Amino acid sequence: MIETPHIKCNKEDISDVVLMPGDPLRAKFIAETYLDDYKLVNDVRNMLAYTGYYKGKKITIFSSGMGMASMGIYCYELYKFFDVKYIIRIGSCGSINKEIKLLDTILSTSSYTETNFSYTYSSKNINEVESSKYLNNIILNKDSKIKKGKTACSMVFDAYIENKDDYNTRLPKDIIASEMEAFALFYIAKLLNKEASCLLTVSDSLYDNKKISSIERQINLKHMIEIALETCLEVE
C-alpha cells in the first residue's frame, strides 16, 4: 500500500495510462459506462479514481479537481509514486478564436500561462510548455476533425475575470481556447520525463452566446472520452 498526502492505494491498482477528468463524478460516469471489472481505487478527499478494463486494456480514470494547483498535486503523485507513464486530461474549455466553435473537440499542442506556476515549482520562469507529440499523433489519427493548437491556462475561471478584454489582449494571438489545468500537467510531465496530452470540448465561446443543451454537451463529451479511451489502446 502506498499512501501519499492525497492518494492511498496499492501500486498495482493504478494503470500506467490514466485519463484525468476534473470532476470526480465524471470519473465515476466514465468507469461505469466504459470499463469492465472496474473498482474504486482511491477516494481520499473524495477525489475518486477507478481502474478497470477497456477492450482488455487496463486503464485508470483519476479525477484531478479544478485548477493548476490541484492538477499539479495529482499528476505529480501519479507520475512519481505510482509509475504512471501517460496521462490524458479530458475536460472543457472556452473558445477565444472565431474558428473554434461550440462543441468542437480540441487537442492542446501546448499550454501558455501568465501565472508563476513554474517559478514556484522549480524557480524557472517558463510560460509555455508543449504536450506529448507521441500521444498527440495517436489522438489525431483517431479523428481528422479534431482542432489543434495552443491553449491558455488560467488560475481564474474565465467567466469571473474582472476585465476579460484586458486578459484576452495580453494572451498570445495564436491562442485558440482557455482552460485551467493543462499547463501544470504538461510542465510536470516534462520535468519527470513522462507523457501528457489534453483533449477539450468547447463549452462556451467568446464569439457565440448560444446555450448548448445538456444532451448536446453529453454527446460531445462522450465523443472526446471515446477518442481518449481508444488512444489508450495504442500506447506501448
Q: What angle do CA 110, 111, 112 make, to 5 degrees?
A: 125
Contact 88, 19 (CB under 8 A): yes
C-alpha span between 186 and 196 (Å, rounded): 6
The span from the CA of 50 to the CA of 56, in Å, is 15
Q: Is 117 helix (H, G, I), strand (E, B) or coil?
A: helix
Task: Tell me the C-alpha distance between 199 and 183, whole Å.
Answer: 13
What is the amino acid identity at position 105?
T
Question: All 3 cell numbers of residue 153?
Answer: 491556462
Positive or negative torsion for Cα 15, 16, 21, 22: positive
Active-site residue, 43 included? no
Cβ partners under 8 Å of residue 84, min gap 6: 14, 15, 16, 17, 18, 60, 78, 194
Q: Which of 13, 43, 204, 208 is catalytic?
A: 204
Q: What share of the chain is helix, strand, coil (3-state, %, to 5)?
A: 35, 30, 35
71 φ, ψ to 5°? -60, -45
Q: Which residues are catalytic?
A: 204
